[in-house]
């Protein structure tokens, strides 16, 4: 499982995406799992990072799952119309 940092704003977006992509080869199951439990400070850049990482995962033939996504980030994803890409049950 890959873990998001506590802060993911525009300032950290590139580094976070790089870290996630570097961890992708270590994910051996059928789906890549991202734990968002520690993510407490974020802006819309967090959605961009998650969407780009989802694309990278799918390109490798893997599923994609986010665990412990805060309700605030779920609301932001709904506002931007991308919740169905990040949360299958949204």
CATH class entry, domain 2-86: alpha beta
Sorted by where each begins, the domain ranges of the chain are 2-86
SS3 86: helix
Looking at the DSSP bridge assignments, the partners of residue 64 are: 32
pLDDT of residue 87: 85
pLDDT (tens digit, 0 to 9) for every residue of the chain, 90 residues total?
999 999 999 999 999 999 999 999 999 889 999 999 999 999 999 999 999 999 999 999 999 999 999 999 999 999 999 999 998 765
Helix ranges (H only) for 1-86 are 10-23, 44-59, 71-80, 83-86
Give the predicted TM-score (pTM) of the model.
0.93
pLDDT of residue 90: 52
pLDDT of residue 47: 97
C-alpha 30: how far from chain center: 17
């Amino acid at each position: 499982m890959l873990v998001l940092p506590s802060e993911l704003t525009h300032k950290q977006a590139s580094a976070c995406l790089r870290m996630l992509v570097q961890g992708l080869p270590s994910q051996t199951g059928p789906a890549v799992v991202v734990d968002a439990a520690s993510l407490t400070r974020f802006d819309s850049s967090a959605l961009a990072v998650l969407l780009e990482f989802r694309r990278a995962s799918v390109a490798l033939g893997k599923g994609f799952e986010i665990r412990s996504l805060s309700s605030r980030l779920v609301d932001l994803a709904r506002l931007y119309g991308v919740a169905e890409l990040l949360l299958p049950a949204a």
